[in-house]
Amino acid sequence: MPWGKQETKPRLSPETIDYALAKAVADGDIVNLRQLFAPASPLRAWSPENIYSPKYAYLLPPSEQEGERLFQEALALVRDPDIAEHARAQLEKDGPPQLHAALVMTLADNAVRLGKFGAAAQAYEWLRVRPRMQEEFLRQGDTALDQNDIARAVAAYHAGTGLAYNYAAFPEPLPAVPDYQTRALILHADYPSTPENCVAMQDPAAFIRTALSYVFLDAETAARLDARPLEQRIAFTAAFVRRRDPDWDAFAERYRNTCTFVTAFGRRLAQDTPPAEAEDGGLAEEIEEQQATADPREIEARLLGRSIPEGEWWQYLKELAYEHPAAALFVARQSVGHGVEIVMPRLREDCPLVEPLGLDVTRTSRP
């Protein structure tokens, strides 16, 4: 008998075990599935942990979930005789468990359906099929693009890029984290010496290429679309941005309103003045004279929707990229004199994403 085995809790029913496993699989929750087979799991007979206690209520399905399709399918799976026997054997043995491949694969598939790509990536990686599954999703996206089915292509690429893995993570490889804050800083690392060097001022083809590399967090995946017609890539990029950021319209409205606010400062504020000229160029002084009660730093606060006390331009950029990743594609650094630098809206008149992403300043905006 394993050390510490004791009978201090209600006897587990087979139905409880089935329901707990089915919930983890239906939820695409790899962490909970691992916990259910951990040494101190409340499903182990000798563990003092009681799954019927409020502490572990999250491991059992609420009544409203029991009738859902994903749960019913998962329940049928865990009750398969071979899988059920395997699960009971793993719960009764000492040592690390060997999870049944069918449980892990179904969990991973459900995680993809639910948009839990980190959990899906980890589950597929356990089964040593993650790279193959990632490529399969991207291939499906390519097929959808061949048929000009943008919505299906975006869904497939969203899943494929979400399954990226970081093999350099410590102490063990982990699903890649979508770190747009860092990528945004890299995107704007150099102060643009000319407007053409600003990301938002690139010609349409180059801008779409940059945008795809940024939103995918992977230039190699973005390169798969290089041969596609520009119009198709524009539609795809706009749809991908919106799928990645369901609250994009809220930012788009702030962006339009901020553009109106910038116009109130005068056209010179929207010009690209190099830092050396701005220091001695009195741009901030001119703004102060024309708008005595206005502070140019209010521009970035309006973009973000809130001010950051003593915040620098890069702090605003990181916050923007965290809340609305693609926002970093439509801003630029601007020196306003006296050592002050801000992040402000910047667009080409012929930017192909203006209309599909709702950034057209001629649209009605609240003041």
CA distance 214 to 205: 14
Residue type for position 17: I
Exposed / middle / buried, residue 19 (Cβ in 10 Å: 0-12, 13-18, 19+): buried
The rounded percent of the chain whose pLDDT value lies above 90 is 72
CA distance 162 to 231: 25
29 neighbors 119 (Cβ within 8 angstroms): yes
Q: Is 258 helix (H, G, I), strand (E, B) or coil?
A: helix
Strand-pair category, 341-345 with 331-335: antiparallel
Q: What is the mean pLDDT of residues 216-235?
A: 96
CA distance 19 to 66: 9
Q: Predicted confidence band at 283 (pLDDT cuts at 50, 70, 90)? A: low
Query: 191-209 pLDDT, tens per residue?
Result: 988 767 889 999 999 999 9
357 neighbors 238 (Cβ within 8 angstroms): yes
Whether 361 has a pLDDT exceeding 90, the answer reads no
Q: Tell me the range of 149-163, 269-283, 292-306 where mean pLDDT is highest.
A: 149-163
CA distance 24 to 33: 5
Q: Residue 345: is the preceding peptide bond cis (ω within 30°)?
A: no
Task: Give 8 or 355, the one with higher predicted confidence.
Answer: 355
Q: What is the mean pLDDT of residues 212-230?
A: 96
What sign does the CA torsion over 348, 349, 351, 355 have?
A: positive
Whether 5 has a pLDDT exceeding 60, the answer reads no
pLDDT score, position 367: 37
Whether 362 has a pLDDT exceeding 80, the answer reads no
188 neighbors 201 (Cβ within 8 angstroms): no
**Dihedral (C-alpha) 306, 312, 317, 318: value to the nearest 10 degrees?**
-90
Tokens encoding 32: 């909970």
pLDDT score, position 10: 78
Whether 99 has a pLDDT exceeding 80, the answer reads yes
49 neighbors 123 (Cβ within 8 angstroms): no
Alpha helices (H) in 310-352, listed in sequence order: 313-323
Residues contacting residue 288 through CB under 8 Å, at least 6 positions apart: none
Lowest mean pLDDT among 119-123, 249-253, 280-284, 306-310: 280-284
CA distance 284 to 335: 9
Whether 278 has a pLDDT exceeding 60, the answer reads no
pLDDT score, position 291: 44
CA distance 64 to 18: 17
Instruction: Return mean pLDDT, the chain.
Output: 88
User: Rounded to two decimals, what is the model's pTM?
Assistant: 0.85
Task: Give 264 or 59, the one with higher predicted confidence.
Answer: 59
pLDDT score, position 45: 83
Residue 168 burial (CB count, 10 A): 8
**Residues 113, 115, 116: CA angle, nearest 5 degrees:** 110
Residue 242 burial (CB count, 10 A): 18
Q: Predicted confidence band at 91 (pLDDT cuts at 50, 70, 90)? A: very high
DSSP state of 334: E
